[in-house]
């Protein structure tokens, strides 16, 4: 008999949304508060792992058709590219800058190139964590 985990499924659906939101908050809040790319990435990964636990791998894979190895690679690439970006402005490799802009909806907002770099970090962390967990689980 197939075990009926409807409660788990329902809770997961709600929890994953909260976890993902929280991880995005952690990611963007990292600039001024505890958090940042690494934690944000890890908590996103934990949300995804919850999905894998609740449903089976194939189901998740059809709904989120992403190759996480590529995500990891892309993250590293992005981080390195932001480093090269500074070269175009005749400053040393990986120099970051920031500025305050008056955006239509957000009002006065601080934008920093460091966020782009952090995106790379987050993607690399997500990609790596999921790759490791998926490959191990497939092996078992």
Partner 1 sequence: MSLFYVVIFLPFIFAIFVPFIYKLFTPRIHTGWFVFLVPLSVFLFLLQYIPAISKGNTIFYDLPWMPSLGINYTTYIDGLALIFGLLITGVGALVVLYSISYMSKHREALHNFYVYMLLFMGAMLGLVFSDHILVLYVFWELTSISSFLLIAYWYQRKSSRYGAQKSMLITIFGGLAMLAGLIMLSMLTDTYSIREMISKANVISSDSLFLPAMILLLLGAFTKSAQFPFSIWLPDAMEAPTPISAYLHSATMVKAGIYLVARFTPVFGGSSEWFWIVSGIGMITLICGSVTAVNQKDLKALLAYSTISQLGLIMSLLGLGSAAMYFGDGDASTMYAVAVLAALFHLINHSTFKGSLFMVVGIIDHETGTRDIRRLGGLMSLMPVSFTLTIIGSFSMAGLPPFNGFLSKEMFFTGVLTVIKYPVFGMEAFALLVPLIAWVASVFTFIYCMILVLKTFLGKHRPERLDKVAHEATIGMLIPPIILASLVIVIFFFPNVVSHNLLQPALVGILPEFAETGGIDVEIKPWHGWNTELFMTVGVVVFGALMYRYLKKWSLFYGLIPQFLILNNIYNQSLKLMETISLKVTNRYMTGFIRDYLVYIFSFMILVLGVALWLSNDFSFDPSNDASISLYEGGIIFLMAITALSVFFANSRLTAIIAVGALGYLVSLLFVIFRAPDLALTQLVVETVTTALFLLCFRYLPELRKEISRIRFKMTNLGVSIGVGAIVTLMALSVNNHRLFDSISGYFEGAYTLAGAKNIVNAILVDFRGLDTMLEILVLCIAGLGVYTIIKLQLAGREKE
47 binds partner 1 (CB under 8 A): no
- Token pair for 57: 């791998």
Strand partners, 110: 100
Each residue of 12-33: b (16+ CB within 10 Å) or e? beeebeebbebbeebbeebeee
120 binds partner 1 (CB under 8 A): yes
- Determine the longest span between alpha carbons in the chain, in angstroms: 67
33 binds partner 1 (CB under 8 A): yes
Query: Contact, 101 vs 111, CB < 8 A?
Result: yes
Residue 70: CB minimum distance to partner 1, A: 11
Q: Which of 19, 48, 75, 85 is in the footprint of partner 1 by CB under 8 A?
A: 75
44 binds partner 1 (CB under 8 A): no
Tell me the Cα Rg of the chain: 18
57 binds partner 1 (CB under 8 A): no
Give the residues lining the site for partner 1 (CB under 8 A): 26, 30-39, 42-43, 46, 69, 72-73, 75-76, 79-80, 83, 93-94, 96, 98-99, 110, 112, 114, 117-118, 120-121, 124-125, 127-129, 131-132, 135-136, 138-140
């Amino acid at each position: 008999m197939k075990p009926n985990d409807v409660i788990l499924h329902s809770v997961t659906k709600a929890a994953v949304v909260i976890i993902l939101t929280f991880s995005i908050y952690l990611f963007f809040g990292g600039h001024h508060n505890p958090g940042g790319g690494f934690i944000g990435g890890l908590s996103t990964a934990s949300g995804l792992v919850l999905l894998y636990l609740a449903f089976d791998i194939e189901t998740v894979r059809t709904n989120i058709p992403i190759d996480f190895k590529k995500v990891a690679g892309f993250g590293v690439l992005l981080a390195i590219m932001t480093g090269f970006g500074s070269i175009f402005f005749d400053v040393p490799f990986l120099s970051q800058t920031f500025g305050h802009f008056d955006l239509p909806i957000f009002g006065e907002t601080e934008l920093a190139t460091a966020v782009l770099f952090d995106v790379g970090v987050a993607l690399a962390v997500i990609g790596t964590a999921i790759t490791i967990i998926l490959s191990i689980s497939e092996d078992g």
